[in-house]
Amino acid sequence: MTAIGARTRVGGLALAGVGVLVAESPEAVRRAWRELPPTVSLVILTAEAAEVLEAEPAATTEPDPSRPLIVVMPR
């Protein structure tokens, strides 16, 4: 399980054992998504990170068994 987004939104998840990838800019979000290990089965995205990835054709948030399950945090 991994979370991607701004430090203030995802930092606390590390206390629950979630891997945290701090991404403060759109490019950092894209990089974090591209570099996810293949073993990650669940990704928690901040709403802002999800918006960045929606514009990426290779990072669609639609269900697909070959990609991790995606959960988007509310604003």
Q: Which residues pair with 70 in a beta bridge?
A: 43
- Mean pLDDT, the chain, as a whole number? 90
Q: If 0-12 CB within 10 Å is exposed, 13-18 middle and 19+ buried, where does residue 33 land?
A: buried
Q: What is the pTM of this model?
A: 0.87
Task: Report the pLDDT value the prediction gives residue 58, as an integer from 0 to 100.
Answer: 61
Q: What was the pLDDT predicted at 56?
A: 74
Residue 61: pLDDT band (50, 70, 90) is low
12-40, pLDDT tens digit by residue? 999 999 999 999 999 999 999 999 998 99
